[in-house]
């Protein structure tokens, strides 16, 4: 399950952080939000460093579809349902400025960026109402969208809304060049440096506990996808959404637009320029992390759909990734706690983080340097009187509570089994002192604690990624228990592990 972008782009390996260092600002997370934040801070002469748990690009940015668009599926109507037109305009202005910034950055640094029309399309007449609503809402907010009938796509389109002059990139060269630019200002980027906790030291200094020891800063920016600190309770205002992507080689020409369906199942389509011919990207089938057992089928369905509408498409790779949907629909950039500037965060981009992440970075740096943008209200981390978003937040948290109890009940009812799980499968069962999760991957059978160290959800096996995923807030762990992503900052403790020498390496 490797993203096509990371297969293609080699990236330099960087050293991990040394304990005892001190910076004005520590940016945690080396994705798009973190790197743009670091670059803007450097341009303001602020002394900072980036702490990345894995490698640059290992997070969602390096696994994204990487469309850069203000037409974002049906996001505008979702936002407008809960917020005023003024707020939607502020959101669009932030995304517009971020698009301009990205375009200018790419063009001035020779990062390939393609101009493309964006489409939100109806897969059938049933989705036409959503397409028209998106058109109406965006028109009212001042965007030059157009309604179009059928498109010259091989897949059926009952109607669409179009926005010209949008962009698409390969996110890995973008991150690689951003990182190099950050370093050219003398800002260190530390890889393999996971942050586990942040606490206050003397004089309000922040003590950042990493896997290698403590580093200090006046301010910490959490650019970690979902915030890794629970203070502020952002985990309860975000729904972790996982989606699937597939890439294909094609000999026939691919339509040049960026397409996303208005309804379910989502189908997101774009092309990738490639010197050896046409490459097609097809994504969709999103679901809440850890609440779908048929993850391998999600990939197979995308491949079947592509074979139907693009006969001759040869699959190259497939992968999945996750992003965080805010229950109040608007993204967050600002203080972790109200009125406190020592820990800031950016999150909740709802799978439109190429622009929202860049906008968040500008807002965070504006907050630190005393010049916040006019559209800041659309990203407020603490919004008073957002009553319209309350039902969605309650629904999301009721779902979390239900997953918590069904996970523990299911584990209590699952009698221990001595049989080794089949290759590529995993199961959770009763065990003392805590439920155990056993899986077999590449011939190694490993038993780890089934209890997520974040908020004690019971993890579930994800057959497509061969990982243990928490259905509460989206933390994910490898079969050996090591932390992959999410709000958790610790791995699942390993209970036992044994290897069958003759077992073949599984297809990933």
The helix (run of H) or strand (run of E) holding residue 397 is: helix 390-413
Q: What value does the CA radius of gyration of the chain take, rounded to a whole number of Å?
A: 22
Instruction: Give the residue ranges of DSSP H helices in 83-221.
Output: 85-108, 128-140, 171-184
By CB under 6 A, is residue 64 in contact with ligand FAD?
yes
Which sign does the torsion angle of CA 99, 102, 107, 110 carry? Answer: negative
The piece of 22-30, 178-186, 201-209, 417-425 that touches ligand FAD (CB under 6 A) is: 22-30
Restricting to residues 327-386, name those near ligand FAD by CB under 6 A: 349, 351-355, 357
The least distance separating ligand FAD from the CB of residue 5, rounded to whole angstroms, comes to 11
The least distance separating ligand FAD from the CB of residue 226, rounded to whole angstroms, comes to 8
The least distance separating ligand FAD from the CB of residue 161, rounded to whole angstroms, comes to 17
| DSSP secondary structure code for residue 451 in this structure | B
By CB under 6 A, is residue 254 in contact with ligand FAD?
no
> Rounded distance, CA 303 to CA 35, Å?
34
The piece of 128-136, 221-229, 248-256, 371-379 that touches ligand FAD (CB under 6 A) is: 221-229
By CB under 6 A, is residue 477 in contact with ligand FAD?
no
Q: How far apart are the first and last CA of the chain?
A: 6
By CB under 6 A, is residue 219 in contact with ligand FAD?
no
The least distance separating ligand FAD from the CB of residue 37, rounded to whole angstroms, comes to 9
> Rounded distance, CA 429 to CA 249, Å?
42
By CB under 6 A, is residue 103 in contact with ligand FAD?
no
The piece of 31-39, 199-207, 334-342, 410-418 that touches ligand FAD (CB under 6 A) is: 31-39
Nearer to ligand FAD, 33 or 123 (CB): 33
By CB under 6 A, is residue 290 in contact with ligand FAD?
no
Nearer to ligand FAD, 141 or 364 (CB): 364
The answer to whether the CB of 320 falls within 8 A of the CB of 464 is yes
The least distance separating ligand FAD from the CB of residue 289, rounded to whole angstroms, comes to 10
By CB under 6 A, is residue 6 in contact with ligand FAD?
no
Nearer to ligand FAD, 145 or 428 (CB): 145
Nearer to ligand FAD, 31 or 424 (CB): 31
Restricting to residues 168-197, name those near ligand FAD by CB under 6 A: 194-195
Nearer to ligand FAD, 37 or 440 (CB): 37
- Whether a cis peptide bond, with omega within 30° of 0, leads into 265 is yes
Which sign does the torsion angle of CA 425, 429, 431, 436 carry? Answer: positive
Q: Name the maximum alpha-carbon separation found in the chain.
A: 65
Of 3, 255, 257, 283, which one interacts with ligand FAD (CB under 6 A)? 283
φ, ψ for residue 282 (rounded to 5)?
-130, 125
Reduced 3-state DSSP string for 274-340: CCCCEEEEEEEEEEECCCCCCHHHHHHHHHHHHHHHCCCCEEEEEEEEEEEEECCCCCEEEECCCCC
Sites of contact with ligand FAD (CB under 6 A): 28-34, 51-54, 58-61, 64-67, 194-195, 223-225, 228, 243, 245, 283, 321-323, 349, 351-355, 357, 489
């Amino acid at each position: 399950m490797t993203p096509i972008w990371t297969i293609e782009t080699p990236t330099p390996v960087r050293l991990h952080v040394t304990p005892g260092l001190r910076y004005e600002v520590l940016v945690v997370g080396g994705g798009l939000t973190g790197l743009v934040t670091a670059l803007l801070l450097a341009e303001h002469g602020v002394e900072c460093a980036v702490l990345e748990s894995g490698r640059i690009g290992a997070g969602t940015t390096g696994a994204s579809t990487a469309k850069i668009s203000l037409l974002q599926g049906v996001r505008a109507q979702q936002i407008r349902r809960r917020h005023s037109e003024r707020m939607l305009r502020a959101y669009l202005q932030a995304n517009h400025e971020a698009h301009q910034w990205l375009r200018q950055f790419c063009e001035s640094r020779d990062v390939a960026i393609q101009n493309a029309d964006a489409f939100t399309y109806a897969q059938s007449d049933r989705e036409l109402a959503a397409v028209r609503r998106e058109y109406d809402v965006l028109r009212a907010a001042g965007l030059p969208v157009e309604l179009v009938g059928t498109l010259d796509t091989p897949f059926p389109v009952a109607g669409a809304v179009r926005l010209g002059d949008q962009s698409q990139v390969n996110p890995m060269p973008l991150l690689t060049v951003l990182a190099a630019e950050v370093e050219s200002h003398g800002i260190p980027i530390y890889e393999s440096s996971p942050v586990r906790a942040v606490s206050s030291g003397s004089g309000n200094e922040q003590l950042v506990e990493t896997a290698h020891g403590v580093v200090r800063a006046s301010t910490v920016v959490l650019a970690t996808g979902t915030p890794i600190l629970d203070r502020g309770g952002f985990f309860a205002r975000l729904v972790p959404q996982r989606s699937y992507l597939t890439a294909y080689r094609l000999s026939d020409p691919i339509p040049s637009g960026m397409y996303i369906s208005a309804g379910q199942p989502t189908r997101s389509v774009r092309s990738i320029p490639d010197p050896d011919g046409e490459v097609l990207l097809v994504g969709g089938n999103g679901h809440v992390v850890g609440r779908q057992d048929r993850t391998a089928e999600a990939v197979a369905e995308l491949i079947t759909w592509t074979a139907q509408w693009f006969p001759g498409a040869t699959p190259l790779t497939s992968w999945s990734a996750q992003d965080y949907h805010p229950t109040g629909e608007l993204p967050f950039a600002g203080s972790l706690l109200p009125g406190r500037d020592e820990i800031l965060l950016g999150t909740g981009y709802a799978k439109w983080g190429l622009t929202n992440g860049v906008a968040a970075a500008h807002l965070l740096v504006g907050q630190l340097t005393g010049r916040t943008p006019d559209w800041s209200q659309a990203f407020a981390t603490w919004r008073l009187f957002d009553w319209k978003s309350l039902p969605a937040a309650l629904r999301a948290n009721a779902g979390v509570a239900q997953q918590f109890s069904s996970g523990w009940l299911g584990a209590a009812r699952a009698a221990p089994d001595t049989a080794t799980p089949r290759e590529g499968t995993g199961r959770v069962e009763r065990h003392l002192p805590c439920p155990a999760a056993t899986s077999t991957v590449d011939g190694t059978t490993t038993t780890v604690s089934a209890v997520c160290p974040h908020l004690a959800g019971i993890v579930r096996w994800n057959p497509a990624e061969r990982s243990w995923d928490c259905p509460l807030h989206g933390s994910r762990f490898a079969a050996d228990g090591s932390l992959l992503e999410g709000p958790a900052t610790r791995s699942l403790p390993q209970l036992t592990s044994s290897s069958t020498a003759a077992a073949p390496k599984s297809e990933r």
